[in-house]
Chains A and B, each alone.
Chain A
């Protein structure tokens, strides 16, 4: 279970303080697919990076299985990273490594032995259906294939949690559907908890059970997808749903 308790994040910039998150509370149950939706600049990325142990909140706590993740020591942080993986809109693959070598990277970092590494990578390539592309370089792949490599790389360490930062925003609608289907399959097959942040309502409708709507650094609405989208309470949700009142 991920418990986000009252986190806020402030950045000091030349133009003064910017509040990226303000008193955010979210609870994500094990095995859930949770969507966080909002416009650009609403604080989505900051939220995801906070949960991913990449960006410490200014205040508040994040618990994963009752462990305050920012209180971990350096070694435990490394292990935590292997339990929680992230995929990005821009894939973030190593351009000088082949598909196989990209997927293998997290295992190399964990000093896994060669034999196990090979088996795991093969298993992942099968899972994301990239057989035959093992020795291709990212520049030779389509966007959808790149995201598959990123997903394989994220899952190769058997994480319990997968964070997705706009995973389909750079993809066409057909590829989006295929990637979302893959994420759902992963969620069911391996019981991986998935948090997706996106501005695409379709992606949330497609696979999320629960959703939170974020606007101007605050969560304005949260609940089951069906309920939230059926009876949107806030202007921003209506706007995201395309039912907003035109100004």
Chain B
């Protein structure tokens, strides 16, 4: 225990660098995953057989694609994507290049998260809005999304935390970050204390993200004022 604390200063620089790398992977890929996943989530919700723009065939194809992508374990997707990553990002190693596979891996997850949030909007409210004369676009932008915002924000934090887990895997194939440090020093070199440091940092990061977004969601939600 004493060693755990006394040895920490020697690792601060490495850990800090790892944390920054992790965030450099996580933040952009979460944003990109939402740029892709949000419209996908909206599409899969509204095209359901009982949705506001029912397109059952399209819906089942889209659902199938999303499920297929989600069923590939991320580590395998990561390796399989290496050639594509090289083409898209210019290189397949380094922190930045990992944004692409993380984005691909998380987008279908985000689509499902968004779907779950949008489904929470009361069907009665949607019907009432239709009775006011809404186009599909208006229904989505003026009613469904604004009403689902608190839930979407909670979903955002879950997605971000999931991507932190994915980023640890990305670290092992040259992405760097905290996951890489944990594996390199903690696993390969039996430096258990380093492993513990990274775990503590990751736990803190996850806690901070979760409570920040929960707080935002609670502040924004007008349902229980």
Interface residues of A (CB under 8 A from B): 49, 52-54, 77-82, 85-86, 88, 90, 92-97, 105-106, 108-110, 137-140, 153, 157
Closest beta carbon of chain A to B13's beta carbon, Å: 45
Residues on the A chain within 8 Å of B225, using CB: 137, 139-140
Contact, CB under 8 Å: A90 / B221: no
Task: List 3 tightest A-B contacts by C-beta distance, closest first.
Answer: A81-B133, A92-B128, A137-B222
Residues on the B chain within 8 Å of A105, using CB: 129, 132, 142-143
B7 at the interface (CB under 8 A from A): no
CA distance A86 to B133 in the complex (A): 11
Considering the complex, give the chain A residue whose CB is closest to the CB of B221. Answer: A96
B140 at the interface (CB under 8 A from A): no
B115 at the interface (CB under 8 A from A): no
Contact, CB under 8 Å: B125 / A109: no
| Cβ contact of B134, chosen from A52, A109, A139, cutoff 8 A | A109
Could you count the A-B residue pairs with CB atoms below 8 Å apart for me: how many are there?
A: 73
B131 at the interface (CB under 8 A from A): yes
Q: Which of A94, A105, A139, A153 has the most CB of B within 10 A?
A: A94
Q: Which of A54, A105, A110, A140 has the most CB of B within 10 A?
A: A105
Chain A proximity mask over B100-134: 1 for CB below 8 Å, otherwise 0 = 00000000000000000000001011011111111
Closest beta carbon of chain B to A112's beta carbon, Å: 12
| Cβ contact of A110, chosen from B122, B124, B131, B133, cutoff 8 A | B133
B residues 169-225 in Cβ contact with A at 8 Å: 220-225
| Cβ contact of B143, chosen from A81, A94, A110, cutoff 8 A | A94
Contact, CB under 8 Å: B133 / A77: yes
Residues on the B chain within 8 Å of A86, using CB: 128, 131
- Can you list 28 contacts pairing A with B, beta carbon distance less than 8 Å? A49-B127, A53-B131, A77-B133, A78-B134, A79-B133, A81-B130, A81-B132, A81-B133, A85-B132, A92-B122, A92-B124, A92-B125, A92-B127, A92-B128, A93-B125, A94-B125, A96-B150, A105-B129, A105-B143, A106-B133, A109-B132, A109-B134, A109-B142, A110-B133, A138-B222, A139-B225, A140-B225, A157-B132
Contact, CB under 8 Å: A94 / B147: yes
CA distance A176 to B146 in the complex (A): 31
CA distance A95 to B224 in the complex (A): 9
| Cβ contact of B146, chosen from A53, A80, A96, A110, cutoff 8 A | A96
CA distance A108 to B146 in the complex (A): 14
CA distance A222 to B147 in the complex (A): 41
CA distance A97 to B222 in the complex (A): 8
Given A82-B132, A94-B146, A96-B149, check contact A88 B223 (CB 8 Å). no
CA distance A110 to B133 in the complex (A): 8
CA distance A138 to B147 in the complex (A): 13
B135 at the interface (CB under 8 A from A): yes
B138 at the interface (CB under 8 A from A): yes
Taking A96-B146, A109-B132 as known contacts, 15 extra A-B pairs with beta carbons closer than 8 A to each other, sorted by chain A number, are A54-B127, A54-B131, A78-B133, A85-B132, A88-B124, A92-B122, A92-B124, A94-B125, A94-B143, A96-B149, A105-B132, A105-B142, A106-B132, A137-B222, A139-B225
Residues on the B chain within 8 Å of A109, using CB: 132-134, 138, 142
Contact, CB under 8 Å: A96 / B147: yes
CA distance A80 to B143 in the complex (A): 20
Given A105-B142, A137-B225, check contact A95 B147 (CB 8 Å). yes
Contact, CB under 8 Å: A54 / B130: yes
CA distance A53 to B146 in the complex (A): 25
CA distance A90 to B124 in the complex (A): 8
Residues on the A chain within 8 Å of B142, using CB: 105, 108-109
Considering the complex, give the chain B residue whose CB is closest to the CB of A87. Answer: B128
Closest beta carbon of chain B to A232's beta carbon, Å: 33
Considering the complex, give the chain A residue whose CB is closest to the CB of B134. Answer: A109
Residues on the B chain within 8 Å of A78, using CB: 133-135
Considering the complex, give the chain B residue whose CB is closest to the CB of A101. Answer: B146
Contact, CB under 8 Å: A95 / B132: no
Contact, CB under 8 Å: B146 / A97: yes
CA distance A53 to B223 in the complex (A): 30
Residues on the B chain within 8 Å of A138, using CB: 222
Contact, CB under 8 Å: A95 / B222: yes
Closest beta carbon of chain A to B198's beta carbon, Å: 39
Chain A proximity mask over B139-154: 1 for CB below 8 Å, otherwise 0 = 0001100110110000
